[in-house]
Structure 1
Amino acid sequence: MQIVNSSKKSLTVFRADQVGSLLRSDRIKNARLKNASGEISAAHLRQIEDEEIERIVLKQKEIGLKAVTDGEFRRAWWHFDFLENLVGVDGFWSGSGIQFQQKQTKSRAIKVTNKLDFGTHPMLEDYKYLHQVAGEHIGKFTIPSPSMLHFRGEIDKSIYQDEEEFFEDLAKTYKKALQAFYDAGCRYLQLDDTSWAYLCSEEQKEQLRAKGVNPDYLIKMYLHTLNKALADRPADLKVTMHICRGNFRSTWISSGGYEPVAEQLFGHLNIDGFFLEYDNDRSGGFEPLRFVNRGDLNIVLGLITSKFGELESKDLIKKRIEEASQFVDLNQLCLSPQCGFASTEEGNLLTEEQQWAKLQHVVEISEEVWK
């Protein structure tokens, strides 16, 4: 099925979709360790990645997904790997990781050390390989939202004394990125963003205020930056956003419904769809969806958890889709897992077989709902 949005572009709707990352195979994990220790070359590692990506793309096709990803198999992180390869950004080991519920990530961090730009980014080649093995299917690629560079990165004040100049350069950088992926053949790009979930959480907003950061300022600047980056994108480039509450070893960071940001995001962000986490009580109800004021905006309901292997009741998922349709037309809704299965290379606490069963579950339910 296709929809037409306000800019008159026709974009495919995937009733059964996925957020993007997949559990790294043992072969990938072992190859990365051997490369780090010097046992195999970078070229040998890439060959193994190629073979494993081809395998998982074929599996995605077999279970019925129409948009396939590379599982983020070449990455250690969902965000840092992309951001530290932007012009003007450096990655470093900070000594402390990101704190989740009772768990902490490795100590990677990023810093803006020069003027921002988008140059010869290595993930353009990563996308080209996905495009090649996707064949007749759509190759969906995921990158962190521009908000994440500001939210997670340090900014050298001698480089950007004026923060508004930073946001302007950030928007220009991402506009170039969108065009570069489009030129490489990409027609489905997803922006991943945890900052908006923090802005839904009173606890997290209090922590921001304690650091001297005004959450309302972030909402304003992030929305402005996103819209500048998305403006005038190619008419047939589908861009969606996944709003994530944190996903590391089956743990999370933030709680709270979408009400605090719903009017701004659903009513004012020039995007084609949202992937929303709705797999537990921490996510709140569907009432914020009343702010969806465009008939061409897709809402992908993340009702299937990626954190644990047990399959949800089909009847319960169908009932929840029906509940959401009281606020958004059923023809604008889609279904997916609530997040990826491995936002970092460590992965969530379930098996690869359980992962594929979850995705198969999404496909089967969507086929029964949207006949």
Structure 2
Amino acid sequence: MSNTHATVAVPAFPADVVGSLLRPAALKKARVQFQNGEISAEQLREVENEEIRHIVAKQRELGLKVVTDGEFRRAWWHFDFFEGLDGVEPYEADQGIQFNGVQTKARSIKVVSKLGFNSQHPMLDHFRFLKEIAGDAVPKMTIPSPSVLHFRGGRKAISTEVYPELDAYFDDLAQTYRDAIQAFYDAGCRYLQLDDTVWAYLCSEDQKRQMRERGDDPEVLARTYADVLNKAIEGKPADLTIGLHVCRGNFRSTWISEGGYEPVAELLFGGVNIDAFFLEYDNERSGGFEPLRFLKPGKQQAVLGLVTTKSGELEDPAVIEQRIKEAAQYVPLEQLRLSTQCGFASTEEGNSITEAQQWEKLRLVIDTANRVW
């Protein structure tokens, strides 16, 4: 990477989109057909291409200045990316990830050899296709944050033969992401978003208790993850914007963690060199805006997730505007932007919301942001 530490110009649009979108019926059908051996990988890709063209055109039509491919080629927001890394293998777990009252499919990953980023990673081509069809909008790539790879399985999911000491693992994890960031940049990416559930877990007393029960110290984990993130983005190109979405879990409209950002705010906002933090603020589980006081003045943005993707009921624009004003008491308005609280389909199952409601939510974000800024 180029060894520059210049201040990054965060994309200057008030309304943003977090990433995933509901999978349309034609895409869901094609994926089932592919899994059943009824259509080829090429035929599936043709369906994906057509549906991605459609939703990119729809995002632009709504007035978004940044577009994603809706994560339409993935089954999961994170596993698909991790499985493309050197050293990572998927496996069928004993049970799925436990959300509030519901479990995901039983799938997980483990590190079986030295970590690395392969220049043939399929998501590089996924991005190239998005860039090709984005027109005058900024194409944004979303990938899971490095901390998620460690946290999902912990020490048990990392080979002790390959990594007897975790220091070497975390060094390789940071380097893997440095290589990934450079590869996406070389493919033309100028806006990359890292999705991270772990920072929200570190705000939850219940989740921290579970970490201690498995032998992890939450305070040590937080410092380690902050260090890995900073090493991963150190010396990144000056015209590359990197965002971090801090997510409390999103599966079929349910969640995992609760608690405001205060426990990690000083370390995360004040100590991690991210350009834009996507923060969930759609309900009382998210806490107040006071933690935003730790954002670096003039250098970082907070993208306020004030519009929920977990239900189709539309928020009152006046209430959203009032909450933006409240947030502006702790950080200047020019450092704030607006988005939904999360994507609409972190996994291919999607949230309990219709496609029409999804577009209404995004329109609400755009219209409100345009009024405020």
TM-score by length of 1: 0.97
The match for 1:327 is: 330
- Unmatched tracts of structure 2, length 5 or more: none
SS of residue matched to 1:365: helix
The match for 1:142 is: 142
CA distance in 2, matches of 1:145, 1:12: 20
1:282 to 272, 281, 285: 285
Task: Report the alpha carbon displacement of residue 6 of structure 1 after superposing the two structures with TM.
Answer: 6.9
The match for 1:152 is: 152
1:35-46 to 2 correspondence within 5 Å?
35-46=34-45
1:253-268 to 2 correspondence within 5 Å?
253-268=256-271
Runs in 1 of length 4+ with deviation above 6 angstroms?
A: none
Task: Report the alpha carbon displacement of residue 84 of structure 1 after superposing the two structures with TM.
Answer: 1.1
The match for 2:74 is: 75
The match for 1:90 is: 89
CA distance in 1, matches of 2:40, 2:300: 45
CA distance in 1, matches of 2:264, 2:287: 13
2:176 to 163, 173, 177: 173
SS of residue matched to 1:13: coil
What letter matches 2:310 in structure 1? K
What letter matches 1:331 in structure 2? E
Seen in structure 2, the aligned counterparts of structure 1 residues 217 and 8 have a Cα distance that, compared at 3 Å, is: closer
**2:8–2:299 CA contact under 8 A, matched in 1:** no
CA distance in 1, matches of 2:364, 2:78: 27
CA distance in 1, matches of 2:204, 2:143: 23
CA distance in 1, matches of 2:110, 2:305: 32
- Indicate whether 1:189 and 2:192 are aligned: yes
What letter matches 1:35 in structure 2? F
CA distance in 2, matches of 1:165, 1:135: 42
**2:196–2:244 CA contact under 8 A, matched in 1:** yes
The match for 2:126 is: 126
* Deviations 1:174-215 (CA, angstroms, capped at 9, x unpaired): 000000000001000000000000000011101111111100
Q: CA RMSD in A?
A: 1.0
CA distance in 2, matches of 1:280, 1:14: 24
**1:258–1:283 CA contact under 8 A, matched in 2:** yes
The match for 2:209 is: 206
**1:6–1:296 CA contact under 8 A, matched in 2:** no
**1:160–1:166 CA contact under 8 A, matched in 2:** yes
1:309-324 to 2 correspondence within 5 Å?
309-324=312-327
TM-score by length of 2: 0.97
Task: Report the alpha carbon displacement of residue 158 of structure 1 after superposing the two structures with TM.
Answer: 1.1
Task: Report the alpha carbon displacement of residue 9 of structure 1 after superposing the two structures with TM.
Answer: 3.7
Task: Report the alpha carbon displacement of residue 11 of structure 1 after superposing the two structures with TM.
Answer: 3.4
CA distance in 1, matches of 2:25, 2:146: 32
What letter matches 1:57 in structure 2? V
Task: Report the alpha carbon displacement of residue 292 of structure 1 after superposing the two structures with TM.
Answer: 1.4
What letter matches 2:142 in structure 1? T
CA distance in 1, matches of 2:109, 2:140: 25
The match for 2:251 is: 248
**2:5–2:235 CA contact under 8 A, matched in 1:** no
CA distance in 2, matches of 1:53, 1:336: 20
Give % identity. 60
1:357 to 357, 360, 364: 360
CA distance in 1, matches of 2:196, 2:217: 18
Task: Report the alpha carbon displacement of residue 8 of structure 1 after superposing the two structures with TM.
Answer: 3.7
Task: Report the alpha carbon displacement of residue 294 of structure 1 after superposing the two structures with TM.
Answer: 2.5
The match for 1:113 is: 112
SS of residue matched to 1:302: strand
CA distance in 1, matches of 2:10, 2:262: 28
1:220-231 to 2 correspondence within 5 Å?
220-231=223-234
What letter matches 1:227 in structure 2? N
What letter matches 2:268 in structure 1? L
The match for 2:47 is: 48
SS of residue matched to 2:315: coil
SS of residue matched to 2:337: strand
**1:274–1:299 CA contact under 8 A, matched in 2:** yes
- Unmatched tracts of structure 1, length 5 or more: none
Q: How many residues align?
A: 366
